[in-house]
Structure 1
Amino acid sequence: MSAAAGAVIREARLADLPAIVGLHAADQGFGQGDAWSPEAEADYRRAFQSLADHPDHVLYVAEDAGEVVGSLLLSFMPGLTGRGALHAVLRSVQVRGDQRSRGVGARMVAAAEAEAARRGARVCELMSNAGRTDAHRFYERLGYAKSHAGFKKRLPAAATFVPG
């Protein structure tokens, strides 16, 4: 999608999947327990294909010298507030540890913001783990403001909803 100072930002391909999962697995202290393994491969492939098939999601990677050094998921959500504003949501932003502070993350975010603007989104938002103070400074440098508190609840795998 764009190139500057080494890394190329482009849409992810299936062949990138082990490296993307590896970025998340290496996220010491903040990871989700991700790890590429034969047992998990089918789940990751299914998730990747679901994202690739859905028009409201774009998975980007930053590639430098043939290696995936970053990834970012851009999702779009329609809303009623803001006169029906389309929201762009940055998710799962990861840059390999040895590539941080080199502009890779900023280029990934800029590519995502350009796509969001192209699609007519009026706001770009993200959530970040409360303990990621370095990431918070990074997002603030890019113009993001701490405007909301986020909450998360893990659901049981077999949760069912009965309307009524």
Structure 2
Amino acid sequence: MVALFAADAVGGHGDTCASEAAQAYGAAFDAIAADPRTQLYAAELDGRVVGTFQLAFVTSLPGRGALRALLEAVQVDAGLRSRGIGEAMVSFAMDKARAAGAATLALTSNKARLDAHRFYRRLGFANSHEGFKIGL
């Protein structure tokens, strides 16, 4: 999974497969595994991880305490895009969110990822909000 992020030039998260980063990734995997409201998924093809995403659930006060699903870290091997892997992953996430009773499924996407934006729109997602973040 980490190799998918490390190969992504657009993400800009500083991901790497270097051995000195293994402890940080191990701690992240452990924290995700310990959180009952978060799941990490991998898509495999011929025994190789070719895609990944994270699905988290948050109860929100607006909407009368609505359950909201957050789709994070969607990544497909660059050489295997446009083969239905991403669509299968997002459809799976949508089904999981519906089954959990989530009112919405939200995601963010880097503004430079124009192909991803077209992909999400094709799947029915809408640009409904402007996103902001700050490094801490």
Give the TM-score normalised by structure 1.
Answer: 0.81
Instruction: Tell me which residue corresponds to 1:8.
Output: none
Report the Cα distance in structure 2 between the residues aligned to 1:82 and 1:148, rounded to whole angstroms: 16
Mapped partners of 1:49, 1:57: distance in 2: 12
Deviation at 1:29, TM superposition (A): 2.7
Structure 1 or 2, whichever has the larger Rg, is 1
Deviation at 1:31, TM superposition (A): 3.0
Please list every run of 5 or more consecutive structure 1 residues that lacks an aligned counterpart in the other structure.
1-19, 156-164
Structure 1 partner of 2:106 = 125
**CA deviation vs aligned residue, 1:19-70 (integer Å, no higher than 9, x gap):** x111001111323110022211011001001101111111011100000000
Aligned-residue RMSD, C-alpha: 0.8
TM-score w.r.t. structure 2 length?
0.97
Q: Is the 8 A contact 1:51 1:58 kept in 2?
A: yes
Unaligned segments of structure 2, at least 5 residues: none
1:76, distance to aligned residue in structure 2 (A) = 0.6
3-state SS of the aligned residue for 2:63? helix
Give the number of aligned pairs: 136
Structure 2 distance, partners of 1:108, 1:29, is: 20
What percentage of residue pairs aligned between the two structures are identical?
A: 49
Runs of 4+ with >6 A deviation: none
